[in-house]
Amino acid sequence: MIRGIIFDMDGTLTEPHIDFQSLRRELGVMVGDIVDHLKSVDDAERRRLESILHRIEEDAAVNATLQPGAAELLDLLRARGIKLGLLTRNSRKSVETVLAKFSLRFDATLTREDGPHKPSPEPVLALARRWNLPPAEVLAVGDYVYDLRCAHNAGARAVLLINDKVPEWAHEADFVIHDLSELPAVIERIP
Ligand SMILES: [Mg+2]
């Protein structure tokens, strides 16, 4: 029985907007984890990179479009008494921009400022604790492999939303959907 659902933001609740290759080019971080890289450089360089990142994220947030059916899905899940979380590696500011733009509400939102980030299990475990739910009753929905691994590392189940082509790591997902409207049927399949 699923009693908590944790959504990724970019590419999951909103249509994919951030072009990660051009983001990496602009930051000069072509390989490795961008958030980890920010932690590894000196203060001046970190401030420079963060200002680039914030500009790109804020532009993406202001221009974001919701995935079809996203708002209706959240209303339906809330009406069923399911706890709703938003977990993203984006900044708190860009999350607030998107939530205000579309009048979306979550029981909890965790951003990269809030501590260990995906694929660490910590954010999913933190939300499960906050909701007093065992991780097995929590489902994570995302469009990237880190979303899936974060959920599995915590003992939660993972749904992959495919936006474009099927990625090579799609087999890591417990369920695969191509549209958010498929999610209620997925939940019903989980005993
Ligand atoms: Mg995403």
Burial class (CB in 10 A: 0-12, 13-18, 19+), 37: middle
What CATH number should be reported for the domain holding residue 184? 3.40.50.1000
Q: How far is the CA of 90 from the centre of ligand 1 (A)?
A: 9
Q: How far is the CA of 146 from the centre of ligand 1 (A)?
A: 9
Number of domains in the chain: 2
Mind listing the pLDDT tens digit for each residue in 53-108?
A: 999 999 999 999 999 999 999 999 999 999 999 999 999 999 999 999 999 999 99
Q: How far is the CA of 9 from the centre of ligand 1 (A)?
A: 6
Two structure tokens written together for 136? 């097995």
Q: How far is the CA of 172 from the centre of ligand 1 (A)?
A: 16
- pTM, full prediction: 0.92
Residue 74 sits in the same domain as residue 165? yes
Q: Which of 62, 77, 94 is the last residue of a domain?
A: 62
Q: How far is the CA of 142 from the centre of ligand 1 (A)?
A: 6
Ligand 1 ion: residues within 5 Å (CB): 8, 10-11, 143-144
Residue 2 CA neighbour count, 13 Å, CB half: 24
Q: How far is the CA of 143 from the centre of ligand 1 (A)?
A: 5
Residue 85 sits in the same domain as residue 57? no
Mind listing the pLDDT tens digit for each residue in 160-186?
A: 999 989 999 999 999 999 999 999 999
Residue 81 sits in the same domain as residue 129? yes
107: containing domain: 4-15+66-189
Task: Please tell me the predicted confidence (pLDDT) of residue 107.
Answer: 98
Residue 87 sits in the same domain as residue 37? no
Residue 57 sits in the same domain as residue 93? no
Residue 166 sits in the same domain as residue 80? yes
Residue 74 sits in the same domain as residue 133? yes
